[in-house]
Amino acid sequence: MNIQAITQRLHAIRDRNDWQRFHSPKNLAMAASVEMAELVEIFQWLSEDESRQLPAERLEHAGQEVGDILMYLLLMCSELGIDMEQALLSKLADNERRFAR
C-alpha cells in the first residue's frame, strides 16, 4: 500500500469538493468514530463464530466501513503531520517490547 499516493487521491477528492474547511483533526476523529460505530453495528448481536463467518454481503459492508475508517485516519494524519506508517511501526515495536515473554 502506498500511503502517500492514497493520501494524494484523498486530497484530490477533498479539494474538488471544497471539503478541507471541514477536515479539522476534531472533525476527522469524530467521522472516523462514526464509521467505527457503523462497523461495530455489523457485528452487533452476532455470536463469536458468526462474527468470524460473515455472509458475503456483510463481509463486503465491513470492508467498506474499514475503508471509510482508514480514509479518515489518513486525512487526520495528513492534517496533523503524523507519518502513519512510522506511527504504526513505532506502536508495533512498543507492543513487542511491552508484551514480550
Summarize pLDDT for 40-67 with one digit per residue, the tens: 999 999 999 999 999 999 999 999 999 9
Work out how many domains the chain is built from and give that number: 1
CATH of residue 29's domain is 1.10.287.1080
CA distance 35 to 50: 21
Summarize pLDDT for 22-45 with one digit per residue, the tens: 999 999 999 999 999 999 999 999
Enter the C-alpha cell of residue 50: 458468526
Q: Model-level pTM greater than 0.75?
A: yes
**pLDDT surpasses 90 at 1:** no
To the nearest whole percent, how much of the chain has pLDDT over 70? Answer: 100
Domain that holds residue 20: 3-98
In DSSP notation, 11-35 reads HHHHHHTT-GGG--HHHHHHHHHHH
How far is CA 11 from each of CA 19, 21, 41, rounded to the nearest angstrom? Answer: 9, 12, 29
